[in-house]
Structure 1
Amino acid sequence: MPRKTVREAINEALVQEMGRDPDIVIIGEDVAGGEGGSSGVEDAFGGVLGVTKGLLPRFGRSRVIDTPISESAIMGMAAGAAVTGLRPVAELMFADFFGVCFDQIYNQAAKFRYMFGGHARTPLVIRSMIGAGYSAAAQHSQSPHSIFTHVPGLKVVMPSNAYDAKGLLIQAIRDDDPVIFFEHKMLYDLADEVPSEPYAIRFGEANFVREGDDVTIVAFSRMVHIAAQAADVLEREGISVELIDPRTTSPLDEESILESVRRTGRLVVVDEGNPRCGLAVDIAALVAEHAFHSLKAPIRTVTAPHTPVPFAPSLEAAYIPSPARVAEVVREIMR
């Protein structure tokens, strides 16, 4: 099976789905611009990190649509296109920019089906980048996925590897409800075995990355890899970790998480989002409510601190949850 990066897997999913369905259109900044044909080939940068590169010469400017730098215009256009028969994939370049266009997402697209009694479909996918690690500072490095998870009517996807990225994006494009598809910018060059043929991964089905008996770790996106590194260290110390990647936060595979904690008796949640009202505390509350009597130790969370993302590389490294922090928290609840 060929190995592909997350960037290549997402691009392949877009190519295959656009080839299958002529109603799919790409909308965003620099998806059909930037390069401007200077190389002699009609192409574009493909977004800030080149994910949609190559779509323009294949599908043309009527389906790969460049926009002004106006997130509200992008999302308003995409929401309107979705309810009138197209299946847009709109790019919100950095998730940090959602404040400019949040009304179009949470107060419009997310509510169309409910407000119109189930008669309106909104097959809209919003791709966006999250995460620290590039020293891109406080306005380009956040992970606001918990805010979108809070909104009824939105489905929220957070792939952690190339295989999941392709299958989940195909599922998102084929879904008739609005989907927020969060891509961690530090994962784009991570490679994995990915089938060349199209396939879809159902939402709400967690991936058991590794099985274990002593402690359950639930982690999302890049934090899956951080937790896996900690699990490798802990295994050498005789501590068996079960690592769960929910893959989607809405819907959330609650039963897989609860079943694991009922077996291991311990839970650590690792999330790059900020701690207050975040995804980590939401899952901790879920387990406290439904599996409290199975717990052998307090539930622990490992998150970013409640501060803006620092620009300085040394401070940013301290901001991001590390394998060492995760391993030490596990040791504490094992004592």
Structure 2
Amino acid sequence: MSSPILVTGAAGFIGYHMVERLLAEGRQVVGVDSFTPYYDVALKEARFARLSPYNTFLGERLDLADAQATRDLFRHHRFERVIHLAAQPGVRFVDPQPYAASNLLGFMNVLEACRQESVGHLVYASSSSVYGANRTLPFSEHDTTDHPISLYAATKKANEMMAHSYAHLFGLPCTGLRFFTVYGPWGRPDMAVYKFTHAIAEGREIQVANGGRVRRDFTYVDDIVEGIVRLVDRAPSPDPAWNAQKPDPATSAAPHRVYNIGNDSPEEVNRLIALIEEQLGRKARRVDVPLPPGDVLETRADVTDLRRDVGFAPATPLEEGIRRFVAWYRGYHGA
């Protein structure tokens, strides 16, 4: 029997969809989550409960910041593939400790466990926020990412550097994925699509940054999952064209690669709001606010490398994604 795939953050938004897809393909999955109360834990419990009936799924409640528990998990299951999606999310700075515990210490424990147990491929979540103060659009993996403007972004940049060091020192194949504004059913309540839908449905005000003249590369969650599925069994090798004199951030002499996964078609937040209004059949009560610190006016993914290497790039139109999300929202909330 083949070894199971480990998915961390399995009760989270992307993690839940990732596990569900793997299980639907008949693969064995161990899913771990620490159920941190960053948002309503009941939503995480509901996601996890939907996975539990599969006889090829084993759910574990575990904090990856616990080094011994993480080592024991890896030793017991002997994973060949690891999909690391667990993280403390959010660009709004509140408390630095959860970011340090989950995104830095937790990730280090995963890297070290992968090294000790000779994992064949670690796929880990990075973020489009690593582009920070970069003003060149679209954002390319070949751009430098040395100026993060949020602590979250800084931890994700640190993850990429940590993974590269393990790939270089120990030959651990690693692939980092920079996600762009993911949305869809079972999404996070703190993100714009869910927040706007919930507030509009209940007749409450929504806060709209910069008059809604903010553009995001909204990426439907199924497209994110498809990209991961295509990459997880495709462990990188050292790039033979790597040049030490003129290093390219997207290539490496180590078995480490980074890819953007985004829709490559930015939409203005004003259009997002209009689509939600259309699906709900009611108008939003808007309050204009300044762009928060840590946010940028526009994101757009260059997905040339992803399309070249796996023959796929996200393409779900925003109107279709919002239709599916609102349908789920109505069912989940009984609205």
Question: TM-score of the superposition, structure 1-length normalised?
Answer: 0.36
Question: TM-score of the superposition, structure 2-length normalised?
Answer: 0.36
- Give the structure, 1 or 2, with the largest relative contact order (CA under 8 Å, sep 6 or more): 2
